[in-house]
Chains A and B, each alone.
Chain A
Amino acid sequence: MTKLAGFLSGLKTLFKKAFTSDHFKTSVIEIGRTMLAIIIAYLVAFVVISFVSEDSKNAIRWFVLGPLSSPTELGEVLKNATPLMFAGIGACLIIKGGHFNMFTEGAFYAGGLVAALAAIYFELPGFLAIIVPLAAGSLAAMVIGYFPAKLKVSYDVNEFVTSIMFNFIVMWVGVWLISNVVIDVTSGDNATLPIPSDSRLSILFENTNVTTGFLIALGVAIVTYLYMYRTKWGFRLRMTGDNKAFARNVGINVKKAGVSSQVLGIGVAGLGGAVEILANYNRFNWKSLPGFGFDGFMVAIIAKNRPLLVPFAAIFIGYLRSGADLMAFNADVTQEVVQIIQGLILILVASEAFFSSTWFQSVIATKMFKKKRVVVHEEVSAHE
């Protein structure tokens, strides 16, 4: 009898410890804030939809519940989420490294293009027919993206601007290539030759369009997490991103860390582009930037820059997008309303002051936190 009592009380203390730990409480608050941001954004969207639509109930129903209506639709959610996962993971690496290199956009494009070309012009057997184009796409992105990264680290060139310039340059060069150099004149479109079926990624779930790309994305998320939090290279990356002076002082080569964080992030984005093309397209025909780069940063912010949370954030955005597509198809509201929601969520989630100001935290938090908390006021200088 006493053994059982002992066991139960041990369990009770364990639960108490888990649920009252600072870590848990902060996580709960964080999740709560994110949920609240999402709810507010959705409400705003509903208001906008009611204004614009003649049949807003129908529109809203499709928007909110549409993706759940069939396995195929659910599959669309995952399919939409896959490129977002790659872009989000790439953005995590870049942001954690302390930079804002937006070349993930151009990386996606270049990765897709190079992967398509590699698949078409190298005749490879079996497994290699997939691995080589994917690697080639990722590598090409890294090679191009190396330049804005290195310039930022060595000469403090604003990488945001240079990377956006590179995005446009890559896009125009790509458009020129597929309209003139590698064009398949029989296709009736400015596009490449068809991608051989050996290189196409296979469908994962029946009756859906979800491919193995989704699995690759999950794998990349896990590998990135391990890299960032369980290896010394990830340690260097994070310390450099948090405080360069500190990282230098403990012997970290901040230049190398700064460049590698960006290049790796761009490589992941390039891989994402490659996967997207091999999964969903039979030719490369992008004539404009797909937009995943900026979206990736948004996903990363919502996921609090944590690679393991990126899949969740990406699936959520994928859900949003599917809902909007269905609403556009079945009702009279255009799907761009999604971007309004995304922008709002991004801002609300990223705001430090959004529900983390004293009136919320001090009221509830001080009741929960019974331990001593020392807050250094005078010495913490404004760090923005």
Chain B
Amino acid sequence: MNDFFELFTSADFYSMILQLATPLVFASLAALVSNKVGVLNIGIEGSMVISALAAAIFSTLTNSSFIGVIAGVMVGILMGLFFATCVVKLRTNHILVGIATNILAAGLAIFVVYAITGNKSDYPGIAMTLWTIPILDKIPFLGEILFTNINPLIYLAIIGVFAIRFLLNRTVLGLRIIAVGKNEVATASVGVKTSRVKMIALLIAGGLAGLGGAYLSLGYMSNFNTGMVAGRGFIGIAAEAIGAGNPIATALFAVLFGAVNAFSLAAQTFSTLAIPYELLNTLPYLTTAVGLVIYSIIRYHKTHPHSSKRREKHEKSLGN
């Protein structure tokens, strides 16, 4: 019990949550924008891998983490372009393109790392400089978490949530994205170029995924490792599914999953509770699955109030 208490009252734990949540938030926003335009983008995982690698490579080439981040975003957009071209122009089934993207990305990453370094898994990156905001960092507890030695991409993630919400609700592009996603035929019938809208949305999603990848290799760690994304793209997709199209809810669920991840890592050091680290590692995935299931069941019962089992129960309860 002591371990738990210590953990939940330490500012470091919450910093960790923010750090682990950030790539998930970017991934979930990417999934959100894709879903709004009607495409389930499974390739976010692969995009994050390649973006992370690109960020690492360009940061070391230019000795600047900033350039690295830019490179990560650009590569993410390129992956988005690839995905969008296949889905929109070549009309390939989006699930298959997503699967292909992930296969391609995984192989390409190892290939490039090997070609440059001769080893098959790691590539160094220039770590990003952390920010400390004066005055605000003096706030007790919160100051430590939010304003001391914090990676600027974390701020960007928070801003991103509101930026995406603004994009969807207040801009013409946002309206068209939603319209295309809900009813493409109707939107096309008034002359809106739906292919173009889809492509733009998927490029935005690619950029967001790129930010997620760049954060992983330059912020969370300071190198690229071929296994570093570890399903985060998929967890982001799950968070978006539960958030049901609402950017803020989506981000909150991403943070929730990040928290579980942080907990599973921290629990490995518990002295009172000795759970093997492998089983702790299943926690983020388990929580995601359970969360998705609970959400789906609730949603199901909302839209099926008269399903037969409930009806029989209802009739029985009325006393025949």
Binding site for B on A (CB under 8 A): 52, 100, 151, 154-158, 160-162, 164-166, 168-169, 172-173, 175-176, 179-180, 294-295, 297-298, 301, 334, 336-340, 342-344, 346-347, 350-354, 381-382, 384
Chain A binder among B4-12, B150-158, B276-284: B276-284
Contact between A161 and B238, CB atoms less than 8 A apart: yes
In the assembled complex, the Cα of A354 lies from the Cα of B93 at a distance in Å of 12
User: Which of the residues A294, A352, A381 comes within 8 Å of B90, measured between beta carbons?
Assistant: A352
Contact between A334 and B120, CB atoms less than 8 A apart: yes
In this assembly, does B111 line the interface, its C-beta being within 8 Å of a C-beta of chain A? yes
Contact between B92 and A339, CB atoms less than 8 A apart: no
In the assembled complex, the Cα of A155 lies from the Cα of B301 at a distance in Å of 9
B87 to chain A, nearest CB (A): 9
A381 contact set on B, CB distance < 8 A: 185
Contact between A176 and B279, CB atoms less than 8 A apart: yes
B92-128 residues with Cβ-Cβ distance < 8 A to A are: 92-93, 95-97, 99-104, 106-108, 110-111, 114-115, 120
> Given the known A-B contacts A162-B292, A173-B278, A173-B282, are A343 and B104 also in contact in the complex, defined by CB atoms under 8 Å?
yes
Contact between A155 and B96, CB atoms less than 8 A apart: no
In the assembled complex, the Cα of A351 lies from the Cα of B292 at a distance in Å of 31
> Given the known A-B contacts A173-B282, A381-B185, are A165 and B238 also in contact in the complex, defined by CB atoms under 8 Å?
yes
Count of chain B residues with a beta carbon within 8 Å of a chain A beta carbon = 48
In the assembled complex, the Cα of A382 lies from the Cα of B257 at a distance in Å of 36
In this assembly, does B288 line the interface, its C-beta being within 8 Å of a C-beta of chain A? yes
A100 contact set on B, CB distance < 8 A: 95
In the assembled complex, the Cα of A381 lies from the Cα of B101 at a distance in Å of 28
> Given the known A-B contacts A164-B231, A165-B288, A173-B282, are A158 and B238 also in contact in the complex, defined by CB atoms under 8 Å?
yes
A46 to chain B, nearest CB (A): 15
In the assembled complex, the Cα of A295 lies from the Cα of B42 at a distance in Å of 15
In the assembled complex, the Cα of A353 lies from the Cα of B282 at a distance in Å of 41
Contact between B282 and A169, CB atoms less than 8 A apart: yes
B124 to chain A, nearest CB (A): 19
Contact between B279 and A173, CB atoms less than 8 A apart: yes
In this assembly, does B237 line the interface, its C-beta being within 8 Å of a C-beta of chain A? yes
Contact between B100 and A151, CB atoms less than 8 A apart: no
B100 contact set on A, CB distance < 8 A: 298, 342-344, 346-347, 350
User: Which of the residues A158, A173, A337, A350 comes within 8 Å of B241, measured between beta carbons?
Assistant: A158
Report the nearest A residue to B275, measured CB to CB.
A176
Contact between B96 and A162, CB atoms less than 8 A apart: no
A320 to chain B, nearest CB (A): 12
Main SS of the interface on chain B? Answer: helix
Q: List 24 A-B contacts (CB under 8 A).
A: A52-B111, A156-B300, A161-B292, A162-B289, A164-B234, A165-B285, A172-B278, A173-B279, A294-B99, A297-B99, A334-B120, A336-B107, A337-B111, A339-B107, A339-B108, A339-B111, A340-B104, A342-B100, A343-B101, A344-B104, A350-B97, A352-B90, A353-B90, A382-B184
B241 contact set on A, CB distance < 8 A: 158, 161
Report the nearest B residue to A382, measured CB to CB.
B185
Most chain A beta-carbon contacts within 10 A, residue among B103, B279, B281, B296: B103
Contact between B292 and A347, CB atoms less than 8 A apart: no
User: Which of the residues B185, B276, B286, B293 comes within 8 Å of A157, measured between beta carbons?
Assistant: B293
A166 contact set on B, CB distance < 8 A: 285, 289
> Given the known A-B contacts A160-B42, A298-B103, are A347 and B110 also in contact in the complex, defined by CB atoms under 8 Å?
no
B170 contact set on A, CB distance < 8 A: none
In this assembly, does B316 line the interface, its C-beta being within 8 Å of a C-beta of chain A? no
A189 to chain B, nearest CB (A): 16
Contact between A179 and B278, CB atoms less than 8 A apart: yes
Q: What per-residue 1/0 map shows which CB atoms of B214-254 lie under 8 Å from chain A? A: 00000000000000001100100110010000000000000
Contact between A165 and B234, CB atoms less than 8 A apart: yes
Contact between A347 and B96, CB atoms less than 8 A apart: yes
User: Which of the residues B91, B278, B297 comes within 8 Å of A155, measured between beta carbons?
Assistant: B297
> Given the known A-B contacts A350-B93, A350-B97, are A336 and B238 also in contact in the complex, defined by CB atoms under 8 Å?
no
In the assembled complex, the Cα of A173 lies from the Cα of B279 at a distance in Å of 6
In the assembled complex, the Cα of A221 lies from the Cα of B97 at a distance in Å of 26
In the assembled complex, the Cα of A50 lies from the Cα of B42 at a distance in Å of 31
B189 to chain A, nearest CB (A): 12
Contact between A351 and B107, CB atoms less than 8 A apart: no
A347 contact set on B, CB distance < 8 A: 86, 90, 92, 96-97, 100
B114 contact set on A, CB distance < 8 A: 334, 336
Contact between B288 and A336, CB atoms less than 8 A apart: no
B97 contact set on A, CB distance < 8 A: 347, 350
In this assembly, does B313 line the interface, its C-beta being within 8 Å of a C-beta of chain A? no
A354 contact set on B, CB distance < 8 A: 90
In the assembled complex, the Cα of A312 lies from the Cα of B41 at a distance in Å of 30
Contact between A351 and B86, CB atoms less than 8 A apart: yes
In the assembled complex, the Cα of A154 lies from the Cα of B281 at a distance in Å of 28
Most chain A beta-carbon contacts within 10 A, residue among B100, B278, B292: B100
Additional A-B contacts beyond A52-B115, A336-B111 (13; CB < 8 A): A155-B293, A157-B297, A160-B42, A161-B234, A161-B292, A165-B231, A166-B285, A169-B286, A337-B107, A339-B104, A344-B100, A346-B100, A351-B91
Contact between A338 and B107, CB atoms less than 8 A apart: yes
A164 contact set on B, CB distance < 8 A: 231, 234
A101 to chain B, nearest CB (A): 11
A163 to chain B, nearest CB (A): 9
Contact between A157 and B292, CB atoms less than 8 A apart: yes
In the assembled complex, the Cα of A175 lies from the Cα of B293 at a distance in Å of 25
Q: Which 9 A-B pairs have the closest CB atoms?
A: A339-B107, A343-B104, A176-B278, A351-B90, A165-B289, A157-B296, A336-B111, A336-B107, A165-B285
A175 contact set on B, CB distance < 8 A: 278
In the assembled complex, the Cα of A381 lies from the Cα of B297 at a distance in Å of 30
User: Which of the residues A168, A173, A339 comes within 8 Å of B103, measured between beta carbons?
Assistant: A339
In the assembled complex, the Cα of A164 lies from the Cα of B234 at a distance in Å of 8
Contact between B96 and A346, CB atoms less than 8 A apart: yes
A340 contact set on B, CB distance < 8 A: 104, 107-108, 111
Report the nearest B residue to A52, measured CB to CB.
B115
Contact between A350 and B92, CB atoms less than 8 A apart: yes
